[in-house]
Amino acid sequence: MRLTEDEHRALVQKSARTAVDRKAGLASGGVKRWQALGRLPVGSLNNTEKAFAAYLQERQAAGAIVWWKAHPFNVTLAKNTHYRPDFLVLNADMSLVIYEVKGSFTSEKGQMKIKLCVEALPVFKVIKATYKNKTWSFQEF
């Protein structure tokens, strides 16, 4: 591929701007990033999920829950739309609860998927666990 001098200069300037934006934590166009940079390998937990797993282990040691599993299954919500719950928990009273773990921010898309999961799986109680300032807050759907 051959470039003119002007095309080459424009390409170099664009890549320099992109590198500066990336270093500053900005997405393309100068918008601040709030999402993770990429997906984790299947089966691994992010830091918030690791903190929730530690919370579940404490509750299991205290006898409040019997069993739990991270990323237990996929739910098909619509064509090409899937949802994977973060945790499935069996409480001491033998009730099953799906926990969706979030940091301090939840996108509208994330909220919608939780609500669709509630409609798709009405036999489960679905709870969003939010971790902010080293404390957990819970919202039942």
- Residue 38 pLDDT: 62
Determine the distance from the C-alpha atom of residue 86 to the mean position of all C-alpha atoms in its chain, rounded to a whole number. 8
- Residue 30 pLDDT: 52
Q: Which amino acid is at 135?
A: T
Please list the residues that pair with 100 across neighbouring strands.
128
Strands 81-83 and 125-132: unpaired
- Residue 40 pLDDT: 67
- Residue 58 pLDDT: 96
Cβ neighbours for 101, distance < 8 A, ≥ 6 positions apart: 48, 49, 52, 86, 87, 128, 129, 131
- Residue 37 pLDDT: 56
User: What is the torsional sign of CA 63, 67, 71, 76?
Assistant: negative
- Residue 12 pLDDT: 73
pLDDT per residue, tens digit, the chain (141 aa), is 677 888 778 777 777 666 555 555 555 555 555 555 567 677 788 899 999 999 999 999 999 999 999 999 998 888 888 889 999 999 999 999 999 998 877 788 888 888 888 998 899 999 999 988 889 999 998
Quote the pTM value.
0.70
